Chain A
Amino acid sequence: MYDAGKIISGIIIFFILVSFPIWISAASGTIGDVPELNLPADEEQCVEDAEWMRANHMDLLIDWRETVVREGVRVYTASDGKEYNMSLTDTCLDCHSPKAEFCDQCHDYVAAVPNCWSCHVDPGGS
C-alpha cells in the first residue's frame, strides 16, 4: 500500500476535526446543558397545557397575531374556558418576564431567532 501512513494520519485528523464540537463541549463541561427556565412563581399554569405550549407556542402566537390584526378580535378563550387578551407583550410577558430568563433561554439553545422584538417592546428592557 502506498502512503499508508499519510492516509491513516489524514483520516485521524479528519475525525478529530469533525468531532470538535463534541469534545470541546465535553471539555468545557457544557455537554448536556439544558435551558434554565425561570417559571413564574405566583402562577400555576400557562394559557394552555405546558406540554402543549412547549411544542406549539409559536403557532399559537401566529394565530393570535392573525386574529388580532386581521380580524380585530382580541379575546382568546383557552381550552379550560379562561379568557386572555391576545397579546405577545401584555399577556405572555406579563407572566414570563424578563424574557431573557425564559423565552431567550430556549431560543438561544435551539438557535431560534424570532424577529418579534424588533417591533414589539419587551417591557422588561430590550
Chain B
Amino acid sequence: METNRRVFLKVAGLATLGFMVTKPALDVFARGQFGEASVGEALDPPHEVGTTTKWGMAVNLTACSEKDGCTACTDACHDYHNVPDIDNKEEEIKWIWTAPYEKVFPEHGNEFIEDDLRGSEVMVLCNHCEHPPCIKVCPTRATWKREDGIVMMDFHRCIGCRYCMAGCPYGARSFNWKDPRPFIKETNPDFPTRTRGVVEKCNFCAKRLSKGLQPACVEACPEKALTFGNLLDDHSELREILATHTIVRRLPELGTEPNVYYYKAD
C-alpha cells in the first residue's frame, strides 16, 4: 500500500484513539478498582489483625420476657437516634424491637421444649455479624464492618438501593420511604436524622461508645437483661456470661455468626 499523507494521518489518528481508550481501561484493572467488592474474595470481613476490641451483646431471654410489654430499650434507642415513629408495618423504621420467640428462633419450634419462652417477645436488633451478608452486596460501601466489629452505616454514601435489606436475613434494616422528620416527636440535636431514600439500622451506639458510654438500650433496660462488652476481653462481664450459660444465636445455619447472643437466666 502506498503511504501517502492521507493514509498516514488515518493510521496515526487511530493509534492515538486506541491508546486513549485502552490505557485508562488497563489502569482500572491494574489499580484493582473493582478490588474491594470483587467476587471470590476471602470470606473474612476486613478485621485488622491486632485489633483489641470486638463489641458484642448478650440478651437475657428470661429477664426480658418477664417484663411483658416493656419498651424501655426501644424508646431509649429511638429517642437518642431520632428514629421516626411510623405506625405502619410497611414503612416503619426500627433499630431495636421485639418479635415473637418462634419467629426469632424458628429452629426452636419443637413441642414441649422451651415451653417457658414460647409465646414471649424477644428483643432483636442488628446482629453485627462476623460475616455480614449486607456489606457484601452494598455497591457503594456505605455499609461496612469496622475494626471493632460494628457493622456501620455511612448515611452520606447510601444511595438507597436496598440490596443490604435483601441481604440481611434478620430484617434488621429499614428503608426511609418518606421524610422521617415529621414522625420524630422530639428531635435529639446530638444526632442527625435521616432523609427519604436511605437505609438505616442499629449502629451499636457508635457515637456513645466514642464517649465511653454504654449503648442507650443497655443503659435503659430496667431488668438489666442486656449486657454489652468487648468479646476479646477475657475478663469482661459479657465473656463471663458466654462462658457460664447455654448460648443461642439467630439462624446459626447461615454462617453469619452474629455477635448478639441469647441465653436463659440460671
Chain A residues at the B interface, C-beta cutoff of 8 Å: 65, 69-70, 72, 74, 89-90, 115, 118-121, 123
B210 adjacent to A72 (CB under 8 Å): yes
Whether B152 is near chain A, meaning CB under 8 Å from some CB there, is yes
A69 adjacent to B152 (CB under 8 Å): yes
A121 adjacent to B187 (CB under 8 Å): yes
B189 adjacent to A119 (CB under 8 Å): no
B152 adjacent to A118 (CB under 8 Å): no
B202 to chain A, nearest CB (A): 15
Name the B residues within 8 Å of A120 (CB-CB): 192
Known: A72-B210, A119-B194. A89 touches B155 (CB 8 A): no
Given contact pairs A72-B148, A119-B192, a sample of 19 additional A-B residue pairs in the complex whose CB atoms are under 8 Å apart: A69-B152, A69-B154, A70-B144, A70-B152, A70-B154, A72-B146, A89-B189, A115-B195, A118-B193, A119-B194, A120-B192, A121-B82, A121-B187, A121-B188, A121-B189, A121-B191, A121-B192, A121-B193, A123-B189
A69 to chain B, nearest CB (A): 5
Binary interface encoding of chain B residues 189-209 relative to chain A, with 1 for a CB under 8 A from any of its CBs, else 0:
111111100000000001000
B155 adjacent to A119 (CB under 8 Å): yes
B152 adjacent to A74 (CB under 8 Å): no
23 inter-chain pairs at a CB distance below 8 angstroms, sorted by A residue, are A69-B152, A69-B155, A69-B156, A70-B144, A72-B146, A72-B148, A72-B206, A72-B210, A74-B210, A89-B189, A89-B192, A115-B195, A118-B193, A118-B195, A119-B155, A119-B192, A119-B193, A120-B192, A121-B188, A121-B189, A121-B191, A121-B193, A123-B189
Name the B residues within 8 Å of A72 (CB-CB): 146, 148, 206, 210
Name the A residues within 8 Å of B146 (CB-CB): 72
Name the B residues within 8 Å of A65 (CB-CB): 156
By Cβ-Cβ distance, the 6 closest A-B pairs, closest first, are: A119-B192, A118-B195, A120-B192, A121-B189, A69-B154, A123-B189
Question: Which of B156, B190, B193 has the most chain A CB atoms closer than 10 A to its own CB?
Answer: B156
A80 to chain B, nearest CB (A): 24
Chain B residues at the A interface, C-beta cutoff of 8 Å: 82, 144, 146, 148, 152, 154-156, 187-195, 206, 210
Give the dominant DSSP class at B's interface.
loop
A30 to chain B, nearest CB (A): 33
Name the B residues within 8 Å of A89 (CB-CB): 189, 192
Name the A residues within 8 Å of B191 (CB-CB): 121
Name the residue on A nearest B206 (C-beta): A72
Name the residue on A nearest B180 (C-beta): A119
Name the residue on B nearest A89 (C-beta): B189
- Distance A74 CA – B190 CA, assembled complex (angstroms): 14
Name the residue on B nearest A71 (C-beta): B146
Question: Which of B82, B187, B189 has the most chain A CB atoms closer than 10 A to its own CB?
Answer: B189
A115 to chain B, nearest CB (A): 8
Question: Which of A70, A115, A123 has the most chain B CB atoms closer than 10 A to its own CB?
Answer: A70
Name the B residues within 8 Å of A74 (CB-CB): 210
- Distance A50 CA – B89 CA, assembled complex (angstroms): 50
- Distance A14 CA – B82 CA, assembled complex (angstroms): 54
- Distance A118 CA – B155 CA, assembled complex (angstroms): 12
- Distance A74 CA – B210 CA, assembled complex (angstroms): 8
A58 to chain B, nearest CB (A): 13
Name the residue on A nearest B193 (C-beta): A119
Question: Which of A72, A115, A120, A123 has the most chain B CB atoms closer than 10 A to its own CB?
Answer: A72
Name the A residues within 8 Å of B155 (CB-CB): 69, 119
- Distance A89 CA – B189 CA, assembled complex (angstroms): 8
Name the B residues within 8 Å of A118 (CB-CB): 193, 195
Name the B residues within 8 Å of A70 (CB-CB): 144, 152, 154
